[in-house]
């Protein structure tokens, strides 16, 4: 597909690289020459310097015959206006970044005029993601598939767990109910087969139905429990959205924010939350607010360094699940070494979110990926395919298919039922199949074959 | 530097060259010549080594930075030349390896300078190889590979393109590098085919038509007759060739705009007007200047047009000697040797767009003397030209002059006379081919010593790659890891 991206900031960069990786034709626009050059040189795309909200620049970028225009400049108004202009150029679909909740409420009124197929609010998406993580305090990451019927949960393996030092095929409690999809050890990711031996300290991803997951965690002695109290450090936009969601789910929320005026605003908007005016970097304050005894802490302050530092501190003094917001994506592998539990990068999530949408649009044009998740710093992909009749993988026992290396079929969803398949199971037409793989850019179920 | 990735790219270059040689093998078979064997062997060994480099040492990290991109391109061209010279040398048709190398470098860089006194003595396969080198070198082997192989150079393959394509600003007209490279080669191939058909329609033999079209398309200038294009008598052939030289010296963005039906934008290109304007003005002046030397006015203007077109596009085809022309005409010829063709074309030289930018910069400087506090930016085609582009254009001029002066000094050690020494450097650095004096359109480069030939080979490569990529190889910092 031909996609025009207006705005080469962090979100624009993240979206452009994500979509470029998926093989789309990308044109990026920014008014800042340096930003355009940097981005267009680093991806296989074209860059245009100019005001992306003008008809002239948009038509120069070929918005007229583009399939999608994505407006992600810093300002909501500019983004919406850009979409309007793109529509005038003749582009059928637009996506705008709209952050101001006051605008989002009105968007449905102008949706058709702007050709707006979706809007993205990176802060809101991040908050949704964080709230999902905070539901279980021991999980590192949770992704859901097949409309929530089945989840991929990443957890660390403690020393005393019965999983440790045994080959996967010999672990009885796994049988038929849960499956270990990936193992991360010493900065290396493995897609394990039956002979693989789990060690203490590994981070494993487990595929399971939500209701079975909790039981399994208990049996495997993995520290997973529902959260009751959550502390949010920093009172920005993400914090607001997050608090709103957690409160709705019956979790007690405490927000600590430096700025008194912002505290006032938050307390007006969030009746049930406890708002504390104070510096999050003040250790005494944290202790007096009982940080040791909360189930989860989300460090959502402005500076990455503060967030990382606080999370390390939390990990030191309590068992709470700590979530660290990081804006700068450049030092991913280092941040991973620091042994933080969960790192959230709102811009990256926004990129993945849009890439997922684009895949869905493409879906109707030929590719049949339904959902895509990137795991372990993009090194592993979990994809959900719809099996169409005529595919070469249909009606054959899985044991007979010669699958690619580093690839596993995780689950098959058939008529609302979830099957964690064994060698004798078959893929039937219209099944939804989730696979996990280290190969990138698979776009069809047939691609899983060697 | 990512040496494995460079090796990988070089491997593909070898495969590509080995494949191209097989065209010559086929030519030899058709003409029942034994020389095809040398192409077959060299090509097969090339391809084998290439496959080894590509498959066995596949790089883990496909990220290409500017430095590695430039070095990879420069090394590719050097490798191409060394390997391309082998058939000439092995078959004994050019017994001296330095000579064979000179001929090959001249072929790939589309210079068209030859060390052969009797071109017609070569076998058909070798003649085909010379023309084919012109054709491949014109649009560039790396661009060819970018069109052919997906993901060569990873996401940053723009750096490869930038090192090989001429002009101060190299960008893409379509988002995907592969599509862009395919588009360029499509236009290139289409125009070549058109010329070939037109020549065939005029009654030229098939082998002659193909070779001439290849040499014109790359603006190379290798002919397959001793008397070069003069062998094809009659206005029709020479006019077709002259017009196509001009077309191949035109910026390919122009054609892309035409294909995209953006006529307004296409004809607004300032460089286009300057290029064709110069052709018209120079043809007229030289035409009047040499009128007395030719039997009629039409003939004089025909000579003038062909020669201006041949030199400004840096093709270097000749239809007769020009050493007896008046001084004014000869000096004008030298002037357009330096200007060269348009950026983004297959031609060489300093490029019209660079001259335009420098003229505008000079104008700005004078304006600043009058209004010291004035702020103004240099614009071309209605777009602001960035400071970095201006800076690199000025630096280009400096290096260009430095390379020219040093080469001139080295060449003059032989004592061949001012005109010959000066124009031989000018003709090779600008990838034109023929100069004046002993290296004029009816002369050749055979009489130079190996040292001079090496200097001129360097000039040809430096000129084709527009200095920076080749010179970067000599900067120690480029080879350091950190």
Q: Which residues of A touch B158 (CB under 8 A)?
A: 40-41, 44
Q: How close B299 gets to chain A, by Cα (Å)? A: 46
Is pLDDT larger for residue B247 or for residue A423?
A: B247
What average pLDDT score do residues A130-144 get?
73
| Interchain contact, A44 vs B171, CB within 8 Å | no
| Interchain contact, B175 vs A2, CB within 8 Å | yes
Size of interface A-B (CB pairs under 8 A): 32
| Interchain contact, A45 vs B159, CB within 8 Å | no
Domain co-membership, A333 together with A310: yes
- Say what the pLDDT of residue A223 is: 66
Q: Which residues of A touch B174 (CB under 8 A)?
A: 25, 46
- Say what the pLDDT of residue A141 is: 72
Q: Is residue A239 part of a domain?
A: yes
- Say what the pLDDT of residue A367 is: 60
Q: Which residues of A touch B173 (CB under 8 A)?
A: 46
Strand-pair category, A93-97 with A68-71: parallel
Domain co-membership, A235 together with A214: no
Query: Is residue A259 predicted with pLDDT exceeding 70?
Result: yes
Judged by a CB distance cut-off of 8 A, whether residue B159 touches chain A is yes
| Interchain contact, A25 vs B179, CB within 8 Å | yes
Q: Is residue A355 part of a domain?
A: no
Query: Is residue A278 predicted with pLDDT exceeding 60?
Result: yes
Judged by a CB distance cut-off of 8 A, whether residue B193 touches chain A is no
Q: Is residue A357 part of a domain?
A: no
CB atoms within 10 A of CB B466: 25
| Interchain contact, A47 vs B171, CB within 8 Å | yes
Q: What is the ipTM of this complex?
A: 0.74
Cβ–Cβ under 8 Å, residues A11 and A96 = no
Cβ–Cβ under 8 Å, residues A73 and A79 = yes
How many angstroms separate the CA atoms of B222 and A168, rounded? 69
Q: Provide the H-helix boundaries in B113-251.
A: 124-139, 141-148, 158-164, 177-201, 206-217, 235-248
Q: In chain A, pLDDT over 70 holds for what percent of residues?
A: 91
Q: Which of A87, A120, A153 is the last residue of a domain?
A: A120
- Say what the pLDDT of residue B210 is: 93
- Say what the pLDDT of residue A70 is: 92
Domain co-membership, A303 together with A396: no
Residue with tokens 């959550």: A230
Q: Which of A293-297, A375-379, B356-360 has the highest mean pLDDT?
A: B356-360
Domain co-membership, A110 together with A33: yes
Q: Cβ contacts of residue B435 below 8 Å, gap of 6+? A: B337, B419, B420, B422, B423, B424, B426, B427
pLDDT tens-place string over residues A437-450? 888 777 778 888 87
Q: Which residues of B touch A2 (CB under 8 A)?
A: 175
Q: Which two tokens stand for residue A382?
A: 């979990």
Of residues A27, A41, A47, nearest to B156 (C-beta): A41
Q: Which of B154, B175, B177 to mutate to test the interface with A (most CBs of A within 10 A)?
A: B175
pLDDT tens-place string over residues B321-340? 888 899 999 999 999 999 98
Query: Is residue A361 predicted with pLDDT exceeding 80?
Result: no
- Say what the pLDDT of residue B399 is: 94
Q: Is residue A439 part of a domain?
A: yes
CATH number for the domain spanning A108: value is 3.40.50.720
Q: Which of A296, A321, A348 is the last residue of a domain?
A: A348
- Per-residue b or e along A142-171, where b marks 16 or more CB atoms closer than 10 Å to that residue's CB: bbebbeeebbbbbbbbeeebebbebebeeb
Domain co-membership, A190 together with A161: yes
Cβ–Cβ under 8 Å, residues A43 and A21 = no
Q: How close B246 gets to chain A, by Cα (Å)? A: 28
| Interchain contact, A41 vs B158, CB within 8 Å | yes
Q: Which two tokens stand for residue A85?
A: 């202009």
| Interchain contact, B177 vs A44, CB within 8 Å | yes
Residue with tokens 């480029």: B478
Q: Which of A348, A378, A396 is the last residue of a domain?
A: A348
Q: Which residues of B touch A33 (CB under 8 A)?
A: 386
What average pLDDT score do residues A304-329 get?
86
| Interchain contact, A46 vs B179, CB within 8 Å | no
Domain co-membership, A174 together with A192: yes
Is pLDDT larger for residue A143 or for residue A303?
A: A303
Cβ–Cβ under 8 Å, residues B421 and B412 = yes
**Sites in chain B below the pLDDT cut of 70:** 1, 153, 482
Q: Which residues of A touch B155 (CB under 8 A)?
A: 17, 20, 42-44
Q: Which residues of A touch B172 (CB under 8 A)?
A: 46
- Say what the pLDDT of residue A93 is: 84
Query: Is residue A339 predicted with pLDDT exceeding 80?
Result: no
Burial of A365 (0-12, 13-18, 19+ CB in 10 A): exposed
Nearest-Cα residue of chain A relative to residue B179: A25
Of residues A33, A42, A45, nearest to B175 (C-beta): A45
Judged by a CB distance cut-off of 8 A, whether residue B176 touches chain A is yes
| Interchain contact, B175 vs A42, CB within 8 Å | no
Q: Which residues of B touch A27 (CB under 8 A)?
A: 175
Q: Which of A44, A47, A68 to mutate to test the interface with B (most CBs of B within 10 A)?
A: A44
Q: Is residue A403 part of a domain?
A: yes
Of residues B155, B171, B386, nearest to A44 (C-beta): B155
Query: Is residue A370 predicted with pLDDT exceeding 80?
Result: no
- Say what the pLDDT of residue B409 is: 94
| Interchain contact, B171 vs A20, CB within 8 Å | no
Domain co-membership, A215 together with A236: no
Is pLDDT larger for residue A366 or for residue B472?
A: B472
Which residues partner with A143 through β-bridges? A152
| Chain CA centroid to CA A149, Å | 17
- Say what the pLDDT of residue A292 is: 83
Domain enclosing residue A379, as ranges: 366-448
Q: Is residue A353 part of a domain?
A: no
Of residues A25, A33, A41, nearest to B176 (C-beta): A25
Sheet bearing A369-375, strands edge to edge: A369-375, A380-386, A432-437, A407-414, A417-419
- Say what the pLDDT of residue A152 is: 80
Of residues A20, A25, A46, nearest to B155 (C-beta): A20
How many angstroms separate the CA atoms of A351 and A347, rounded? 6
Domain co-membership, A158 together with A192: yes
Cβ under 8 Å to A: B residues 319-378: none
Task: Please report the sign of the dihedral spanned by the C-alpha atoms of residue A323, residue A329, residue A332, residue A338.
Answer: negative
pTM of the model: 0.78
Least confident of A6-20, A104-118, A419-433, B111-125: A104-118
How many angstroms separate the CA atoms of A369 and B448, rounded? 66
pLDDT band at A393 (very low <50, low <70, confident <90, very high): confident
CATH number for the domain spanning A431: value is 3.30.70.1450
Query: Is residue A176 predicted with pLDDT exceeding 70?
Result: no
How many angstroms separate the CA atoms of A357 and A355, rounded? 5
**SS3 call for A28:** strand
- Say what the pLDDT of residue A304 is: 87
- Angstrom distances, CA of residue B476 to CA of B76, B77, B411, B454, B482: 19, 20, 26, 22, 12
| Interchain contact, A25 vs B172, CB within 8 Å | no
How many angstroms separate the CA atoms of A1 and B362, rounded? 45
| Interchain contact, B177 vs A41, CB within 8 Å | no
Cβ–Cβ under 8 Å, residues A301 and A231 = no
- Say what the pLDDT of residue A352 is: 80
Domain co-membership, A63 together with A169: no
Q: How close B151 gets to chain A, by Cα (Å)? A: 9
- Per-residue b or e along B243-256, where b marks 16 or more CB atoms closer than 10 Å to that residue's CB: bbbbbbbbbbbbbb
Domain co-membership, A257 together with A343: yes
| Interchain contact, A44 vs B158, CB within 8 Å | yes
Nearest-Cα residue of chain A relative to residue B257: A60
Nearest-Cα residue of chain A relative to residue B160: A41
Q: Is residue A136 part of a domain?
A: no
Q: Which residues of B touch A39 (CB under 8 A)?
A: none
| Interchain contact, B175 vs A33, CB within 8 Å | no
How many angstroms separate the CA atoms of A392 and A402, rounded? 11
Nearest-Cα residue of chain B relative to residue A43: B155
| Interchain contact, B171 vs A46, CB within 8 Å | yes
Burial of B92 (0-12, 13-18, 19+ CB in 10 A): exposed
Q: Is residue A269 part of a domain?
A: yes
Of residues B156, B159, B175, nearest to A27 (C-beta): B175
pLDDT band at A169 (very low <50, low <70, confident <90, very high): confident
Domain co-membership, A114 together with A13: yes
Q: Helix crossing, B3-30 with B141-148: angle to 10°?
A: 100
Of residues A17, A33, A46, nearest to B172 (C-beta): A46
Domain co-membership, A168 together with A211: yes
Number of domains into which chain A is organized = 4
- Say what the pLDDT of residue B108 is: 93
- Per-residue b or e along A251-283, where b marks 16 or more CB atoms closer than 10 Å to that residue's CB: bbbbbbbbeeebbeebbeebeebebbbbebbee
Q: Which residues of A touch B176 (CB under 8 A)?
A: 25, 44-45
């Amino acid at each position: 597909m031909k996609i025009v991206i207006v705005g080469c900031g962090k979100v624009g960069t993240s979206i452009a690289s994500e979509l470029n990786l998926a093989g789309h034709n990308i044109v990026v626009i920014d008014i800042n020459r340096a930003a355009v050059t940097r981005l267009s040189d680093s991806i296989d795309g074209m860059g245009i310097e100019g005001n992306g909200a003008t008809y002239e620049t948009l038509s120069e970028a070929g918005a007229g015959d583009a399939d999608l225009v994505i407006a992600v400049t810093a300002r909501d108004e500019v983004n919406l206006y850009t979409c309007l202009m793109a529509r005038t150029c003749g582009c059928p679909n637009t996506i705008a970044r709209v952050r101001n909740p006051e605008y989002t409420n009105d968007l449905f009124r102008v949706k058709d005029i702007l050709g707006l197929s979706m809007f993205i609010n990176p802060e809101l998406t991040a908050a949704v993601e964080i709230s999902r993580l905070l539901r279980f305090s021991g999980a590192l990451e949770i992704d859901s598939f097949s409309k929530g019927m089945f989840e991929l949960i990443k957890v660390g393996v403690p020393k005393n767990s019965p999983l440790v030092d045994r080959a996967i095929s010999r672990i009885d409690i796994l049988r038929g109910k849960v499956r270990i999809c990936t193992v991360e050890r010493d900065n290396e990711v493995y897609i394990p087969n039956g002979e693989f031996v789990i060690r203490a300290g590994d981070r494993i991803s487990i595929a399971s139905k939500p209701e079975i997951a909790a039981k399994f965690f208990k049996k495997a002695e993995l520290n997973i429990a529902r959260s009751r109290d959550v502390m949010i450090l920093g009172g920005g936009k993400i914090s607001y959205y997050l608090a709103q969601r957690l409160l709705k789910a019956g979790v007690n929320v405490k927000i600590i924010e430096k700025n008194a005026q912002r505290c006032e605003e938050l307390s007006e908007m969030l009746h049930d939350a406890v708002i504390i005016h104070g510096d999050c970097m003040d250790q005494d304050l944290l202790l007096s607010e009982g940080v040791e005894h909360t189930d989860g802490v989300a460090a959502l302050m402005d500076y990455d360094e503060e967030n990382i530092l606080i999370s390390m501190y939390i990990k030191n003094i309590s068992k709470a699940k700590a979530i660290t917001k990081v804006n700068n994506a450049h030092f991913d592998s280092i941040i991973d070494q620091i042994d933080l539990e969960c790192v959230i990068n709102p811009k990256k999530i926004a990129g993945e979110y849009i890439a997922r949408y684009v895949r869905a649009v493409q879906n109707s044009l030929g590719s049949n990926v339904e959902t895509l998740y990137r795991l372990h710093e993009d090194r592993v992909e979990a994809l959900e395919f719809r099996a169409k009749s005529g595919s070469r993988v249909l009606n054959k026992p899985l044991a007979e298919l010669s699958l690619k290396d580093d690839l596993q079929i995780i689950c098959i969803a058939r008529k609302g039922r979830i099957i964690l398949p064994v060698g004798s199971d078959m893929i039937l037409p219209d099944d939804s199949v989730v696979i996990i793989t280290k190969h990138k850019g698979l776009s069809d179920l047939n691609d899983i074959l060697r | 530097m990512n040496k494995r990735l460079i090796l990988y790219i070089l491997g593909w270059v070898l495969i590509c060259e080995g494949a191209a040689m097989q065209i010559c093998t086929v030519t030899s078979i058709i003409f029942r010549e034994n020389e095809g064997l040398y192409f077959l062997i060299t090509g097969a060994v090339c391809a084998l080594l290439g496959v080894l480099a590509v498959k066995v040492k596949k790089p883990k990290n496909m990220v290409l930075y500017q430095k590695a991109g430039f070095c990879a391109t420069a090394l590719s061209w050097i490798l191409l030349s060394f390997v391309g010279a082998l058939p000439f040398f092995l078959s004994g048709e050019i017994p001296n390896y330095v000579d064979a190398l000179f001929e090959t470098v001249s072929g790939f860089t589309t210079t068209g300078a030859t060390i052969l006194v009797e071109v017609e003595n070569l076998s058909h396969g070798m003649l085909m190889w010379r023309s084919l080198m012109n054709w491949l070198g014109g649009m560039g082997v790396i661009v060819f590979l970018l069109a052919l192989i997906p993901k060569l150079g990873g996401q940053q393959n723009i750096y490869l393109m930038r090192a090989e394509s001429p002009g101060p600003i190299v960008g893409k007209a379509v988002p995907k590098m592969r599509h862009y490279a395919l588009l360029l080669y499509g236009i290139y191939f289409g125009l070549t085919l058109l010329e070939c058909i037109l020549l065939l329609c005029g009654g030229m033999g098939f082998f002659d038509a193909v070779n001439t079209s290849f040499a014109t398309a790359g603006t190379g200038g290798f002919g397959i007759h001793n008397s070069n294009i003069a062998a094809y008598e009659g206005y029709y052939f020479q006019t077709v060739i002259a017009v196509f030289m001009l077309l191949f010296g035109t910026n390919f963005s122009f054609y892309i705009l035409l294909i995209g039906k953006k006529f307004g934008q296409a004809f607004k290109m300032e460089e286009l007007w300057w290029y064709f304007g110069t052709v018209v003005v120079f043809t007229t002046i030289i035409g009047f200047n040499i009128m007395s030397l030719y039997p009629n006015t039409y003939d004089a203007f025909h000579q003038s047009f062909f020669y201006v077109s041949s030199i400004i596009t840096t093709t270097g085809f000749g239809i007769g000697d020009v050493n007896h022309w008046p001084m004014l005409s000869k000096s004008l010829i030298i002037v357009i040797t330096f200007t060269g063709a348009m950026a983004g074309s297959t031609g060489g030289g300093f490029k019209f767009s660079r001259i335009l930018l420098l003229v505008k910069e000079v104008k700005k400087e004078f304006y600043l003397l009058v209004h010291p506090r004035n702020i103004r930016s240099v614009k071309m085609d209605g777009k602001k030209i960035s400071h970095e582009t201006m800076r690199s254009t000025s630096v280009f001029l400096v290096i260009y002059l430095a390379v020219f002066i040093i080469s001139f000094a080295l060449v003059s050690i032989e004592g061949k006379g001012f005109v010959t020494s000066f124009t031989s450097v000018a003709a090779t650095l600008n990838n034109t081919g023929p100069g004046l004096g002993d290296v004029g359109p009816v002369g050749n480069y055979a009489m130079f010593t190996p040292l001079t030939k090496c200097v001129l080979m360097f000039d040809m490569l430096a000129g084709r790659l527009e200095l920076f990529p080749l010179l970067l190889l000599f900067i120690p910092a480029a080879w350091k890891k950190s």
